[in-house]
A and B are shown apart, each in its own frame.
Chain A
Amino acid sequence: MFGCLHGPSPRLGELAEQFSPLIETLSADTVVFSLTGLHSLFGDSHQIASEISRRGAAMSIEANLCIAADKTTAVLTARNLPGVTIIPAGKEAEALSEISIEALPAEPDLLVTLHRWGLRTLGDLAALPEIGTRERLGEAGHRLRSLALGQHVDLLRLARSPAEYTAREEFEHPVELLEPLLFVVSAQLHDLVAKLQHHGRAAIRIVVVASVESGNEIVRSMELPVAMRDQKALLKQIQLALEAKPFGAPITAIQIVLDPADPRVIQGGLFQPAGPEPDKLQTLLARLRALAGTERVGSPEILNSHRTNAFRLRSCAFEPGDLSSTASRPLRLAFRYFRPPIAAQVTIKSQVPQRVVFEYAAGAVIHSAGPWRTGGDWWAATSWTRDEWDVVLENHSAYRIYLTTSRKWFVEGSYD
């Protein structure tokens, strides 16, 4: 005997669990479970249904319920007939007969054929001759007909919930300092890492949820660039994050949640330069972020743009580079960038710079080349133009100067 619950509530599984450990979740809105052995506890099917309904009502669950001798009949009925339906054994076909043929789990092509045949309900399908149907529609058609007759045998596919890596600790007295808090966290991590190891997993994200005295919860989330399960490294990540951004209030409970991922596997190469251990590197980066700010730590990436020096920072990904390629670059005139560029005053005559004055030098221009003109992002608020000149001043020092969109001059650097 099977029961099936169908409705919008997310707690259908919870309700089913109150009656049976043998549960199959078919979809977010349908749960089917075994009722074997419940007769001795609650009585006949009506009494079981009554009890399920009562507890469901107590949990504010609105759902259809069907009790039937086979699983698929229970499911089809619960999904298509409102309220509580109890189908006595042997009466399945009759109970199903008015249900629309659309309810069948059939391939679209097969449904089209059934429609062409003028079949509208499961009763229509059940009325077809068995051999004729099997001859024409094969096994798939026969299966549908069996479903329509309530004669299809199907077993429960029991589900196992995925492992969770969560630890929570409530404190008798609020904890104000970080050190005792970390002591607790360390113990929590010990258990969690052991569990991760047991399952052959690693953590890719740490979520720390702290309850404060006011009853509020403060959440800190730390994405890890590589999956890791070293307890010390994880603890250090948490420590640095909390040092950089403390909770600011006494803590009454702490919860650690680790998001699992497959651990990273690295095959070291004999001729590859040894890089830092990823775990240690992450710790170092976390320290740097704490010092310099999150947005100022990362790997620079040159942007695909004509804009000079256009780059962005992306999260650090340290892969061994091909060091040999740098050796073959031809030697060119060296240029020393001023970072940031230095504001300058430039005198222009006949569209050519005549004199340059800035913080470190001033003088007449004796040679110049330019303008080198670029511009871009015309479609955005960040549109820009830039006229660049190379100038040699009377002291024979060479500089690169440029004029911006806002008509301001800067010295970008000097030529060695």
Chain B
Amino acid sequence: MYVELRARSAFSFLEGASLPEDLVQQCADLNVAAMALVDTDNVSGAPRFYTAAKKVGIRPHIGAEITAAAGGRYTLLVENRTGYQNLCRLITSMKLRSAKGNAAATETEFRLYSEGLVCVMDGSQPPELLIDIYGTGNVYAEIQRHLLREEEIRNERVKELARKWKMPLIASNGVRYARPQSRELMDVLTCTRHRTTISEAGRLLERNAERYVKAPRAMARLFSTTPRVIETAAELSDRLQFTLADLGYEFPRYPVPTGETMDSFLRARTLAGALHRYGPSHEKAYRQIERELALIEKLKLPGYFLIVWDIVEYCRREGILVQGRGSAANSAVCYSLGITAIDPVGMELLFERFLSEERGEWPDIDLDLPSGDDRERAIQYVYQRYGQLGAAMTANIITYRSRSATRDVGKALGFNLEALERIAKLSARGAWEVENAGTSASKLTPEKQFSSAGLDLNDPRVSKLLSLSRQILNLPRHLGQHSGGMVICQGQLDSIVPLEPATMPGRVIIQWDKDDCADLGLIKVDLLGLGMMAVLKDSITLISDHYHEEVDLAHLPPDDTIVYSALQKADTVGWFQVESRAQMSCLPRMKPARFYDLVVQVAIIRPGPIVGKMMHPYLRRREGDEEPICLHPVLEPVLKRTLGVPLFQEQLLRMAMLVADFTGGEAEELRRAMGFKRSEERMKVIETRLRSGMDRKGITGEVQNTIVQAITSFALYGFPESHAASFALIAYASGWLKCHYLAAFTAAALNNQPMGFYSPLTLVKDAQRHGLHFLPVDVTRSVWRCAIESLNGQLAVRLGFNYVKGFSQKSAEKIMAARGHATFTGIDDLRQRIPELSRAELTALADLGALNHIGRGGRHRRDALWQAELALRPVSELLKDAGSPEVASPLLPMEPLERLEADFGNTGLSIGAHPMRFYRETLTRMNVVPAAQVRHLPDGRRIRVAGAVICRQQPGTAKGFVFLSLEDETGIANVIVKPDVFERLRVPILSHGYLLIDGTLQNQRGVVSVKAHAVQRCPLPTDATAASHDFH
């Protein structure tokens, strides 16, 4: 019976055109009993291949084609676990010592890692060498037939070598795609690989479409003259006993003190923590902890919790802010160990979402760390603790999305870059991905996108571009680095999965992504960088230094009225999670008054609740306009606290269990399908099961549809309640710090850009409206980062050198050091003492006014520019120390508008008056209403607003509506542009920094926006403003 022992998938990165799942499915359809996946220099596709094959009952053999340093490739098949470990080590060895993309194994490496591997010889390598390396009986000769005349010459040669060296002869089809029609895609990928076009590629392309998975009968016909080769391949397949079920992965054991076991040590640590968290007599909490500990011990997971605890403890010791997020926040043990900050007992969170016996999956603990150096320190700690080959980051498999698909296919088909760029630009967001997710969220279909870009869909070449771009979607393009997932292993991780260097120096990644790790039972700890964590940490330091107060984030006042008042007014610029335009427009309706409201607020502005049509019912019920009735009485206990509306992932799981009798395992499968990018087909299967379960329970018709929609809409993005609670904590902390320590919070936020929703300019202008003073960059005062200074008894933020465009930290440090020795006597003195200052740097400082106070002071910016220009001229050795007295410049001081433009040009922001203020009189004559006054006008009134565009958005859930935020000196006005208006006025809307908009005011229940009728460029004499935050 024919088995295919040489199949490449798309994980060969541009050398295969089908996903492993497609290859397996084709085997299943054609009754091919086994297949070996031999991707080029990697086993990245192996987990998906194995998982898919297991489902349909195909025997999945693992192998790889390994590039040899001496030329050609070795095709290696794994016979047993030793062989698999050797294959992983071989790939790791060659990858870690080579530059990215140039890895090749030496003969020594092949010899070193040969045991347990079977080599398949295709005639390109000398058989005597292969037999010498892998041993007699472990080298098979292979012939293929693709109906090519020249191939028969090769086959004859291989047969001759097989006879001569007594090698068994097998047949394969050298599969590169599942079905014949994918040959076209294969050709396109070949073009991308060789950076050529299809019309130029010539003989690089496939000669025919024969490298697909063939039916056993077809293969038997092809090899009818030598039927034995097919039987021998089947015999070899029987020899290959290894599967990924036999991976041998073991999570590292945590070293405990003598006399302790991991169980006892974890118990002791947990109870000590619980005493601190809950006090001695919180019965409910201790019951929960006991229940969790019992399960953790039963599942042999204490080591995992201790290792995460160890990382958290390291962070505490090192003063690195850390907080667990995700489902771990459902666990009282995690809370007691200090891993998470949410009390799951108090919040009645669902522990089973985190860990359950029947799930058979490792728990997932994500740690949020301040982005930047602190996070890197935590990562390096893990590397040091478990060794370079014991820990690695998980990969992020970058797949083709609509933009990259069109670009690569278009380039290969010879389309000009301009047309492709037009298509890419029109794809402001991933229209195709939305289409694939099976929703009607976006009306911008690929066909429309192509037509809008001026491409004629009737042109056969264009229709090829469209169909191939669709086919290439979701195929892997290359391996990237996951944002923070680390896999740790007892012993050598490189025997479990190959490691390779990441693009970032000092980082090593494994060849599997986080889903693969989960599928194969590898435990992952996510060390995620969160800009806001860095802001919180920096704020605390600044508060300690300048307010002389110590802030403990774990003990913030829980119901601060100032914080909730700001939330209710949507005064949330700079807050974590609740600052976006959409959040702001929801806050006045939501009117959060307690912490759980904030948890809901964090979760509600998400594609899940919006597409699932859950947001508006919830808000209406909250405002008392609608009765809080559940979808079905059976769901009452699950949905009561969200007023009958499902909002959280946990609720949807429980709903599935209640309405369709899903087991915990099935509910888990449902959750996994929701979170997966590759989940559409799985979702369909689950939906069928869900519906039949509901039918059995008598839940039918519209109610059934609503429940199914609620559940399936979370396929886009479901938010777990525990996760929302963790985020809400950070959101609350950020708001509390902003409300009470504005200077510290703003300085910290400015020092951790880019992050959040708004540009630094918006943060500055918002802080100014709240009464904070800013001081400009000044060579005599500024340090590298923004800092706090006392100004007339009040704290103000001094901009740092980090805001001067192109200014190096090294130059800033030199200035600070030189200033410490002696004050600068003049610009010439500054230049002489810090010769490293470049022309651009010194000129920027002068242009900004940062040199105005140097030496005698009293200069204006152009005085400084005049002197700086002289200081920059080379001076002969003789006159080097002579100096030259500063003379008054003949230049006129800058006008206010010129200063503003210089500020924007050199720092991207201005701490002076908002540009709109200079023209307020003119604008008033033009009937422009300032942003702050808009909310005081009645609903339905015709209105004209104007301002700097700080944000343009077209959310996929908004059916083509575009949202603009216009900022003036008084605040921010929100504008809604209908799809037809946007199409008509696309150019002015997208082209200008300042807009003048006529429209109708919508002012209902505190939610204020202007519905645009006409949009034009605001007639200001400058277009200087910060870059708008667009279509992210």
Per-position binary interface string of chain A over residues 356-382, scored 1 when its CB falls under 8 Å from any chain B CB and 0 otherwise? 000000000000001111111011110
Within 8 A of B (CB), among A70-124: 113, 116-118
Q: Which residue of the partner chain, among A113, A304, A306, A378, contacts B207 with CB atoms under 8 Å?
A: A306
A305-B203 Cα distance, complex, nearest whole Å:
5
Q: Which residue of the partner chain, among B149, B202, B203, contacts A388 with CB atoms under 8 Å?
A: B149
**B866, A306: Cβ atoms under 8 Å?**
no
Q: Which residue of the partner chain, among B198, B210, B887, contacts A379 with CB atoms under 8 Å?
A: B198
Q: Which residue of the partner chain, among B146, B184, B887, B898, contacts A118 with CB atoms under 8 Å?
A: B898
Q: Which residue of the partner chain, among A118, A372, A375, A388, contacts B209 with CB atoms under 8 Å?
A: A375
Q: How many residues of A contact B (CB 8 A)?
A: 29
A207-B534 Cα distance, complex, nearest whole Å:
76
Nearest CB of chain B from residue A369's CB, rounded to whole Å:
8
**B862, A306: Cβ atoms under 8 Å?**
no
**A374, B207: Cβ atoms under 8 Å?**
yes
| A-B contact sample (19 more), CB < 8 A, given A136-B870, A136-B873 | A113-B843, A116-B843, A116-B902, A117-B891, A118-B862, A118-B891, A132-B890, A303-B202, A306-B205, A306-B207, A372-B149, A373-B210, A376-B207, A378-B187, A379-B184, A379-B198, A379-B199, A379-B464, A388-B149
Contacts of B208 in A (CB 8 A): 373-375, 385
Listed residue (A303, A304, A373, A379) with the most chain B CB atoms within 10 angstroms of its CB: A379
Closest to B871 in A: A136
Q: Which residue of the partner chain, among A117, A373, A378, contacts B184 with CB atoms under 8 Å?
A: A378
Contacts of A59 in B (CB 8 A): none
A187 close to B (CB within 8 Å): no
Closest to A132 in B: B890
B1017 close to A (CB within 8 Å): no
A117-B866 Cα distance, complex, nearest whole Å:
7
A378-B413 Cα distance, complex, nearest whole Å:
11
B1014 close to A (CB within 8 Å): no
**A305, B202: Cβ atoms under 8 Å?**
yes
List 20 A-B pairs, Cβ < 8 Å: A118-B892, A118-B894, A118-B898, A129-B890, A132-B887, A135-B870, A136-B869, A136-B870, A136-B873, A303-B202, A304-B201, A304-B202, A305-B202, A373-B146, A373-B208, A374-B208, A375-B208, A376-B207, A380-B460, A380-B461
B148 close to A (CB within 8 Å): yes
Within 8 A of A (CB), among B410-444: 413
Contact A306 to B147, CB < 8 A, known contacts A117-B862, A135-B870, A379-B461:
no
A372-B148 Cα distance, complex, nearest whole Å:
5
A149-B183 Cα distance, complex, nearest whole Å:
72
Closest to A119 in B: B891
**A136, B461: Cβ atoms under 8 Å?**
no
A380-B866 Cα distance, complex, nearest whole Å:
65
B865 close to A (CB within 8 Å): yes
A290 close to B (CB within 8 Å): no
Nearest CB of chain B from residue A348's CB, rounded to whole Å:
15
**B147, A372: Cβ atoms under 8 Å?**
yes
**A116, B207: Cβ atoms under 8 Å?**
no
**A373, B147: Cβ atoms under 8 Å?**
yes
A138-B887 Cα distance, complex, nearest whole Å:
18
A137 close to B (CB within 8 Å): yes
B847 close to A (CB within 8 Å): yes
A127 close to B (CB within 8 Å): yes
Contacts of B198 in A (CB 8 A): 379
* Interface positions of A (Cβ within 8 A of B): 113, 116-118, 127-129, 132, 135-138, 303-306, 370-376, 378-381, 385, 388
Contacts of B870 in A (CB 8 A): 135-136
Contacts of A135 in B (CB 8 A): 870, 873
Closest to B846 in A: A116
* Chain B interface residue number, banded: 35 or more
Contacts of A385 in B (CB 8 A): 208
Nearest CB of chain A from residue B844's CB, rounded to whole Å:
10
Contacts of A373 in B (CB 8 A): 146-148, 207-208, 210
Per-position binary interface string of chain B over residues 862-899, scored 1 when its CB falls under 8 Å from any chain A CB and 0 otherwise? 10011001100100000000000001011110100010
Contacts of B873 in A (CB 8 A): 135-136, 138
A306-B198 Cα distance, complex, nearest whole Å:
13
Nearest CB of chain B from residue A382's CB, rounded to whole Å:
11
Q: Which residue of the partner chain, among A117, A137, A306, contacts B203 with CB atoms under 8 Å?
A: A306
Contacts of B149 in A (CB 8 A): 372, 388
Nearest CB of chain A from residue B308's CB, rounded to whole Å:
53
Contact A136 to B464, CB < 8 A, known contacts A306-B205, A375-B208:
no
Contacts of A138 in B (CB 8 A): 873
Contacts of A375 in B (CB 8 A): 207-209
Within 8 A of A (CB), among B907-935: none
**B869, A113: Cβ atoms under 8 Å?**
yes
Contacts of A380 in B (CB 8 A): 199, 460-461
Contacts of B184 in A (CB 8 A): 378-379
**A128, B890: Cβ atoms under 8 Å?**
yes
A380-B460 Cα distance, complex, nearest whole Å:
8
Listed residue (A128, A372, A374, A375) with the most chain B CB atoms within 10 angstroms of its CB: A372
A132-B866 Cα distance, complex, nearest whole Å:
9
A378-B184 Cα distance, complex, nearest whole Å:
7
A144-B148 Cα distance, complex, nearest whole Å:
73
Q: Which residue of the partner chain, among B147, B183, B413, B865, contacts A116 with CB atoms under 8 Å?
A: B865
Nearest CB of chain A from residue B390's CB, rounded to whole Å:
49
A310-B202 Cα distance, complex, nearest whole Å:
11
A306-B413 Cα distance, complex, nearest whole Å:
18
Nearest CB of chain A from residue B208's CB, rounded to whole Å:
5
A137-B210 Cα distance, complex, nearest whole Å:
71
A118-B890 Cα distance, complex, nearest whole Å:
11
A371-B151 Cα distance, complex, nearest whole Å:
13
A379-B869 Cα distance, complex, nearest whole Å:
61
Closest to A112 in B: B843
Per-position binary interface string of chain B over residues 502-518, scored 1 when its CB falls under 8 Å from any chain A CB and 0 otherwise? 00000000000000000
**A371, B147: Cβ atoms under 8 Å?**
yes
Per-position binary interface string of chain B over residues 192-228, scored 1 when its CB falls under 8 Å from any chain A CB and 0 otherwise? 0000001111110101111000000000000000000
A100-B603 Cα distance, complex, nearest whole Å:
57
Closest to B460 in A: A381
A373-B212 Cα distance, complex, nearest whole Å:
14
Closest to B843 in A: A116
A400-B593 Cα distance, complex, nearest whole Å:
87
Listed residue (A132, A136, A374, A388) with the most chain B CB atoms within 10 angstroms of its CB: A136
A137-B847 Cα distance, complex, nearest whole Å:
17
A304-B196 Cα distance, complex, nearest whole Å:
13
Contacts of B902 in A (CB 8 A): 116
A129-B891 Cα distance, complex, nearest whole Å:
10
Contacts of B892 in A (CB 8 A): 118
Closest to A370 in B: B147
Contacts of A379 in B (CB 8 A): 184, 198-199, 413, 460-461, 464
**B890, A116: Cβ atoms under 8 Å?**
no
Closest to A378 in B: B184
Nearest CB of chain B from residue A377's CB, rounded to whole Å:
9
Contacts of B847 in A (CB 8 A): 116
Closest to A127 in B: B890
Nearest CB of chain B from residue A396's CB, rounded to whole Å:
21
Contacts of A118 in B (CB 8 A): 862, 891-892, 894, 898
Listed residue (A116, A118, A371) with the most chain B CB atoms within 10 angstroms of its CB: A116
Contacts of B148 in A (CB 8 A): 372-374
Closest to A141 in B: B869
Q: Which 8 A-B pairs have the closest CB atoms?
A: A304-B202, A373-B147, A136-B869, A372-B149, A373-B208, A306-B207, A374-B207, A117-B891
Closest to B884 in A: A135
Contacts of A376 in B (CB 8 A): 205, 207
Closest to A372 in B: B149
Nearest CB of chain B from residue A312's CB, rounded to whole Å:
13
Closest to A388 in B: B149
A374-B150 Cα distance, complex, nearest whole Å:
12
A371-B843 Cα distance, complex, nearest whole Å:
75
**A117, B865: Cβ atoms under 8 Å?**
yes
A149-B887 Cα distance, complex, nearest whole Å:
24
Within 8 A of A (CB), among B129-176: 146-149
